[in-house]
Amino acid sequence: MMNTITIIQQVLFVITLGIAGFFVFKRASSIRRNILLGKDAEFNDQKGKRWGTMFRVAFGQQKMFDRPFVGFMHFLIYAGFLLINIEMLEIILDGILGTHRLFVPVLGDVYPFLINFFECAAIGVVLACVVFLLRRNVARIKRFHKDEMKGWPTSDANIILVWEIVLMFFLYTMNATDYLLQEAGDAHYPVVGSFAISQYLVPLYSGLSPEALVMVERSAWWVHIIGILGFAVYITYSKHLHIALAFPNTYFSRLEPRGKMKNMESVTNEVKIMMGAPAEDSGEEVGTFGAKDVKDLQWNQIMSAYSCTECGRCTSECPANLTGKKLSPRKVMMDIRDRAEEVGKNIDQHGADHDDGKSLYGDYISKEELMACTSCNACADACPINIDPLSIILDMRRYVAMEEASTPASWNAMFQNVENSQAPWAFPAADRFKWAEEISNSVDSQQ
């Protein structure tokens, strides 16, 4: 009878694993397609530096600790997530093979130490999740309650935090009832002793019969594994996709100094031709100057939108936003992701050539938002995974300036002065240093 039940569980587990894998693969394929809506971009330079950036910023969580308390709390969740997923390997193998605690004979006395270590990591996850729930919903940290965070973004964050707490509870329940079944001498449950945290739940289940204990233990096992697999599917629709995309995003992040703005090669070539210098063939086919929609962005810029954690550090550091302007760098990234999703759904429903009459600029991001940016790079500097909202804002402002010619009058005057006098001010280049001569003459006269 037990062998029949075990076989049924194995079959159900493999089916569950296959269903979760199918939905993750399908969603990942859709996200990849949406990211590749953007223009080609090459990142074959300085590979060593790129790997170093990825390990330091994504794996090492370096920029999270710019705010030490939040950084430590996030580290507890991050480390717990990594460690508990090591235990998931055993759970998955047990589900496929019909075994229980497969690694006990292999690891011997080391096994209880590892489970205790995992349980301590799990309690760190629970504590950090509780702190983050209180910060969001009781302390109501201002950056979590901006206009763009109303509705689903707030619910999404709370769902994940509660989900992680529930998963940890069922992990402890599984281990607590497992210990009682060890004590009862059930042959299916190898003796490894009690564990650091789950031992405190043992009194809750100590009055149950062996049959009831098996029912609770198996139910907790199934809820935990289905919860983990469901979590894997859910995060592909959530801001928590950064768990996976933070790594490629930091690898492909810009290596140049923050203040360096990338010129458009096609425009640079036109200027060279006008000045009589030899032009270079950039290979760039110019259809539109700047970016109006997601297809005008580079693919890595769209990927950075999917990588966004929605933490709001960029917006909390943005001087335009702090002075009451409409611009929010976080909203810009969220809008790009939402627009890419919309374009992707249109492709699925109507084909690649479908035009829904909408665009990123105008329907999602307004001219007022773009014009408010001071180009200070505070947003890019603050982002814990090296997202660069400024590069996108600049591309969209180039569209406003070069395609619509609708920049403010003060900007147009500056552009004209730069073109005519090579300076923002309306005086000849020959007079540029007169102010220095006047100061020098004044100093000489005083002496």
Query: What's this model's pTM, rounded to 2 decimal places?
Result: 0.87
pLDDT at 198: 93
The DSSP-derived string for 310-359 is ---HHHHH-HHHHTT-S--HHHHHHHHHHHHHHHHHHHHHH-TT---S--
pLDDT in tens, 190-229: 888 889 999 999 999 998 998 999 999 999 999 999 999 9
- At 286, the pLDDT band (50, 70, 90 cuts) reads low
The tokens of 94 are what? 């047990």
Would you say residue 253 has pLDDT above 70?
A: yes
pLDDT in tens, 346-369: 999 998 888 899 999 999 999 999
- At 6, the pLDDT band (50, 70, 90 cuts) reads confident
Quote the mean pLDDT of the chain.
Answer: 89
Of the candidates 359, 253, 242, 361, the one whose C-alpha atom is nearest the C-alpha of residue 306 is 242
pLDDT at 307: 96
Contact (CB, 8 A) for 268 and 284? no
When pLDDT is averaged across residues 399-409 and rounded to a whole number, the result is 87
User: For the domain bounded by 287-430, which CATH number is listed?
Assistant: 1.10.1060
Would you say residue 284 has pLDDT above 60?
A: no
pLDDT at 425: 78
d(CA 425, CA 409): 14
Of the candidates 81, 130, 92, the one whose C-alpha atom is nearest the C-alpha of residue 13 is 92
pLDDT in tens, 127-152: 999 999 999 999 999 999 999 999 99
The tokens of 122 are what? 């799990």
d(CA 288, CA 312): 31
- At 281, the pLDDT band (50, 70, 90 cuts) reads low
- At 158, the pLDDT band (50, 70, 90 cuts) reads very high
Token look-up 């406003």 returns 400
DSSP 8-class letter at 108: T
98 C-beta neighbours (distance < 10 Å), count: 17
